[in-house]
């Protein structure tokens, strides 16, 4: 129910989409990993409106910005993105008639650029060498230069990012495992998934073990992931939450793309495959437990990369 000032008519359509965001299935990994006493599951996040895990924070950010009066008729939504949050923004903004400007590193996949262009998004390309840190800087400069034009969503600092997972993702996992989850494994990018899901799961069960994943080195091929030792740490990140950290090698993730397709019928993105690498590593060290990870998106937006992997 809308309790704040009634938003402009086009934006009301945003609220009609609430039931299409989240509620993704939990998939049992059976062949890539099998060990008596240990269960491994993954959330199929592309099976929601928006096509990736980023539909959750994007929707929550837009919805609350409208309700709080920060995103008003005539204003342009502005943010920095590596791709998936931007695509989710673009879909929701197209429905609501909200102008959208995204700052995007120029090395984003061709598929992501094409999708954003087809949704009539204004794209400001930023240096590939500065990753999303550079994109954030450009977005901030645009917002500061024209504050009356833009609502700068700033997903890396916006509490509605991690709260989407606190109220949604974590509770879904808890219910889908009947409260039996013992380990949660997730990558660090904006850190919203790990922070929000981990915080709520820890409240539901103090004994849950939380493993954070990040690239093994600063130079990597995992779009959206952050190597926190060398990158700008998102303001929403809770550095006291993780019980341990695992570094994931890009080539290991690429090999997992092949194996997940062959053994599980899953066509994964590099970041989803990397999450699965980390989750299997955690599960392999257990004698008993229920391990859950996230598969943020599938291979649809990475056809060039995936085709290259399968050819070699």
- CATH number for the domain spanning 127: value is 3.40.50.1100
Looking at the structure, tell me whether residues 251 and 136 fall in a common domain.
no
Task: Report yes or no on 220 lying in a domain.
Answer: yes
85 shares its domain with 147? yes
Name the domain boundary from 92, 122, 152. 152
Same structural domain, 230 and 102: no
Same domain, 41 and 182: yes
Mark whether 189 and 237 lie in a shared domain.
yes
Backbone φ, ψ for residue 191 (5° rounding)? 80, 5
pLDDT tens profile 131-155: 888 999 999 999 999 999 999 999 9
27 and 101 inside one domain? no
Is residue 2 scored above 50 in pLDDT?
no
Q: Does residue 230 share a domain with residue 83?
A: no
Per-residue burial over 10-20, b = 16 or more CB atoms within 10 Å of its CB, e = otherwise: ebeebeebeee
In a domain, 160, yes or no: no
The pLDDT of residue 8 is 62
CA angle 67, 69, 70 (to 5 degrees): 115
**What is the per-residue pLDDT for 110?**
85
Domain membership flag for residue 247: yes
Contact 97, 11 (CB under 8 A): yes
**What is the spatial distance between Cα 58 and Cα 55, in angstroms, rounded to a whole number?**
5
Q: How many domains in the chain?
A: 2
DSSP 145-206: H-TTTEEE--TTT-HHHHHHIIIIIHHHHHHHTTT---EEEEE-SSSHHHHHHHHHHHHH-T
Same domain, 213 and 119: no
Provide the β-strand partners of residue 103: 80, 124
| Orientation of helix 250-264 relative to helix 270-284, angle to 10° | 90
Contact 119, 91 (CB under 8 A): yes
Task: State the pLDDT confidence band at 10, using cuts at 50, 70 and 90.
Answer: low
Select from 88, 123, 152 the last residue of a domain.
152
Same-domain pairing of 144 and 60: yes
Same domain, 249 and 147: no
Contacts of residue 203, defined as CB under 8 A and 6 or more positions apart, other chains included, come to: none
Same domain for 33 and 66: no
Percentage of the chain modeled with pLDDT above 70:
96
Mean pLDDT for 73-79 is 93
Instruction: Answer yes or no: is 24 within a domain.
Output: yes
For residue 18, pLDDT over 50 is answered with yes
Give 266's pLDDT tier (boundaries 50, 70, 90). Answer: very high
For residue 13, pLDDT beyond 60? yes
Q: Is residue 107 part of a domain?
A: yes
Highest average pLDDT, of 7-11, 103-107, 198-202, 231-235, comes from 198-202
Model confidence band, residue 203 (pLDDT cutoffs 50, 70, 90): very high
DSSP label of 86: H
The pLDDT value recorded for residue 294 is: 98
Residue 4 resides in a domain: no
Q: Identify whether 246 is part of a domain.
A: yes
More confident residue, 13 or 157: 157
In a domain, 2, yes or no: no
pLDDT at 228 > cutoff 90: no
Contact 44, 295 (CB under 8 A): yes
pLDDT band (50, 70, 90) for residue 38: very high
Backbone angles phi, psi at 248, to 5 degrees: -115, 130
Q: Residue 51 pLDDT more than 60?
A: yes
Task: Please tell me whether residues 128 and 225 are part of one structural domain.
Answer: no
- 40-44, 64-68, 81-85, 286-290: least confident range: 81-85
Q: Rounded mean pLDDT of the chain?
A: 92
The whole-number pLDDT of residue 1 equals: 35
Decide: 216 and 247 in contact? Cβ < 8 Å.
Answer: yes
Task: Determine which helix (DSSP H) or strand (DSSP E) holds 66, and give its type and residue range.
Answer: helix 55-67
Q: Looking at residues 150-161, what average pLDDT do you find?
A: 97
Domain that holds residue 120: 55-152
């Amino acid at each position: 129910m809308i309790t704040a000032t009634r938003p402009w008519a086009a934006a009301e359509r945003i609220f009609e989409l609430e039931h299409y965001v989240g509620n993704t299935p939990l998939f049992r990994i059976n062949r890539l990993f099998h060990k008596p006493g240990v269960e491994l599951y993954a959330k199929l996040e592309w099976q929601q409106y928006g096509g990736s895990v980023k539909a959750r924070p994007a929707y929550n950010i837009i919805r609350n910005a409208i309700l709080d009066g920060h995103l008003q008729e005539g204003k342009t939504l502005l943010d920095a993105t590596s791709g998936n949050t931007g695509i989710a923004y673009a879909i929701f903004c197209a429905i609501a008639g909200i102008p959208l400007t995204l700052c995007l590193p120029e090395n984003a996949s061709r598929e992501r650029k094409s999708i954003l262009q087809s949704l009539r998004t204004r794209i400001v390309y930023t240096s590939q060498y500065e990753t999303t840190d550079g994109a954030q800087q450009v977005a901030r400069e645009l917002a500061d230069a024209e504050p009356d034009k833009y609502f700068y969503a700033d997903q890396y600092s916006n509490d509605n990012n991690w709260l989407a997972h606190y109220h949604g993702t974590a509770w879904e996992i808890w219910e889908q495992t009947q409260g039996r989850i013992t380990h949660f494994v997730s990558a660090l990018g904006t850190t919203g998934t790990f922070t929000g899901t981990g915080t709520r799961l820890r409240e539901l069960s103090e004994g849950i073990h939380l493993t954070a994943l990040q690239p093994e080195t600063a130079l990597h091929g995992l779009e959206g992931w952050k190597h926190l030792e060398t990158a700008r740490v998102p303001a929403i990140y809770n550095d006291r939450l993780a019980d341990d950290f695992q570094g994931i090698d890009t080539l290991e993730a690429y090999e997992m793309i092949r194996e997940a397709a062959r053994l599980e019928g899953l066509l994964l993105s590099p970041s989803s495959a990397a999450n699965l690498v980390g989750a299997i590593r955690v599960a392999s060290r257990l004698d008993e437990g229920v391990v859950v990870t996230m598969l943020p998106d599938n291979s649809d937006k990475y056809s060039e990369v995936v085709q290259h992997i399968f050819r070699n």
